[in-house]
Amino acid sequence: MTDFKNKVALVTGGGRDIGRAVSVLLAARGASVVVNYFDNPEQAASTVNEITAAGGKAVAVQADVTKPADVQRLVSEARSAFGGTFDILVNVAGGLMGRKKIDEMDEAFWDAVMDVNLKSVFLVTKAVLPYLRDGGSIVNFASQAARDGGGMGAVAYSTAKGGVLTLTRGLAKELGPRKIRVNCVSPGMINTTFHNTFTKPEVRQKVAAATPLGREGEAHEVAELVVYLASENASFVSGASVDINGGTYFV
């Protein structure tokens, strides 16, 4: 059992779906968790309540992680809540924002997708790094779309997530001297609000049927992988992107 006692974790997009599962599992393993959310305080409060009801420690902090001022405030409030330093950063926040082929999108849409999926990782990581303990861990979120280009209308999203893959590898090299490990996970079809919103039911059924394991993944399964990568059990794993897609895509 992984023990995160006396460790502090910040999870962006931590209020729902995979972010919620990550927050709850980190807390269950002993971490004090800062649950960042953007626009749904009820979901974030529900996540915090679930953690505290089980005896864990958590606070919710609203911030738009595409905006530098919000990110600085997030880090400041997070430091005030749990002692000033961090041990774990999990950059979950991101999203498709809409399915548009390149001839259907304008520059504003492209920039918005890049901001929420890639710029956010840069901003939060840069802001957290001065307070991240040596020997700490960063886990970013890429996507199977970064590997295979994504479904129709996901070219901006898949490009941004490809950037997360490369950012992860570069950071692993830069932060290695501080013994900070940087990895990312690349989920495939996971049963979340993301696919409830952007993927047609018939497409989900087709993908699940074609997956070697014959189903979609669940948020808690992704959370288990994140917790492993954040833990000392993965002490020699850095710069990796771990696919979690039921066997749909191999690297």
DSSP 48: H
Among positive and negative, which fits the CA dihedral 173, 175, 179, 180?
Answer: negative
pLDDT digits (tens, 9 = 90+) for 50-93: 999 999 999 999 999 999 999 999 999 999 999 999 999 999 99
In a domain, 2, yes or no: no
Chain centroid offset of residue 246 CA:
19
**What is the structure's pLDDT at 184?**
98
Could you tell me where the DSSP H helices lie in the chain?
A: 17-28, 41-53, 68-82, 107-114, 120-128, 144-148, 155-175, 193-198, 201-210, 219-230
Report the number of distinct structural domains present in the chain: 1
Q: Which residues are catalytic?
A: 157
| CA pair distance 13, 144, nearest whole angstrom | 19
Q: Which residues contact 131 (CB under 8 A, 6 or more apart)?
A: 75, 79, 84, 85, 86
Which pLDDT value is given to residue 195?
A: 65
CATH number at residue 52: 3.40.50.720
In a domain, 88, yes or no: yes
Is residue 196 domain-resident? Answer: yes
Q: Please state the pTM of the whole predicted model.
A: 0.94
Of the pLDDT bands very low, low, confident and very high (cuts 50, 70, 90), residue 199 is confident
Helix pair angle (219-230, 17-28), 10° resolution: 50
Domain ranges, residue 174? 8-234
Query: Does the residue 120 lie in any domain?
Result: yes
